[in-house]
Amino acid sequence: MRRLVAILTAISVLTGCGEGAFAPTEGERVFAPGVSGNSSIDGLEVGHRLMAAGEYDLALRAYTRAAGQQGLNVDTLSALGSANLKLGRLNQAESLLRRAVEQDPAFPAAWNNLGVILMERGKTSEAAQVFRRAFATDNGNSDEIRDNLRLALANLENPFNTTQQENEPFQLVRRGTGDVLLLSTL
């Protein structure tokens, strides 16, 4: 009998917790904020600054947020690829940068950064072709792209010469506000 009383008491307490007892009314409901957060902050610019500071993991997060806000356009794909390269994720970086150059074949920074990945993977011949494409697309205006092309061609002629590459590592470049800028490789 005590057990039956205890069960009935529990049921009556639980039914009292139904609608309206503790639930907020329609105007009092609270919802989580949206995914976009503060839309006035440019995730790409934040990511570029973090890359320059050597904070590649944080830069990848900022670029991912930018991709969530802007979509996977050529700028976000290139930025994500460059951050993945710096984190040593060569397969992901190559895939992202190949998608970037497919979307915009006239984007010299994406071509250059794809060439850097190919050099890292030992694909010197393809990298030299990609650096040529970056140099031509840029009309020879970027010293960094020209230096990367020069190094790739030197490695193509003499693949066993690693002293030159150690002194002058390949350089990533990015597109900011219409400019191709140098990112530190060290």
Alpha carbon 176 to chain centroid, angstroms? 14
The Cα 60–Cα 96 span in angstroms is 13
* C-alpha distance from residue 8 to each of 17, 18, 21, 132, 137 (Å): 14, 16, 19, 82, 79
- pLDDT, residue 102, reads 97
- pLDDT, residue 14, reads 56
CATH number of 41-104: 1.25.40.10
- pLDDT, residue 7, reads 72
- pLDDT, residue 41, reads 80
The model's pTM is 0.67
pLDDT in tens, 126-155: 999 999 999 999 998 999 999 999 999 998
Cβ-based neighbours of 87, under 8 Å, separated by 6 or more: 56, 57, 60
Q: Residue 110: how many CB atoms within 10 A of its CB?
A: 32
- In angstroms, the first-to-last Cα distance of the chain is 78
pLDDT in tens, 152-166: 999 888 876 655 445
Pick the CATH number of 105-163 from 1.10.10, 1.25.40, 1.10.1200, 2.30.29: 1.25.40
- pLDDT, residue 3, reads 73
- Parse the chain into domains and list their residue ranges: 41-104, 105-163
Q: Do the domains 105-163 and 41-104 match in fold?
A: yes
Instruction: Please write down the HEC assignment for all residues of 8-44.
Output: HHHHHHHHHCCCCCCCCCHHHCCCCCCCCCCCCCCHH
Per-residue tens of pLDDT for the chain, all 186 residues: 777 666 766 666 555 555 555 555 555 655 544 455 555 688 999 999 999 999 999 999 999 999 999 999 999 999 999 999 999 999 999 999 999 999 999 999 999 999 999 999 999 999 999 999 999 999 989 999 999 999 999 988 887 665 544 545 666 665 554 443 434 343
- pLDDT, residue 182, reads 39
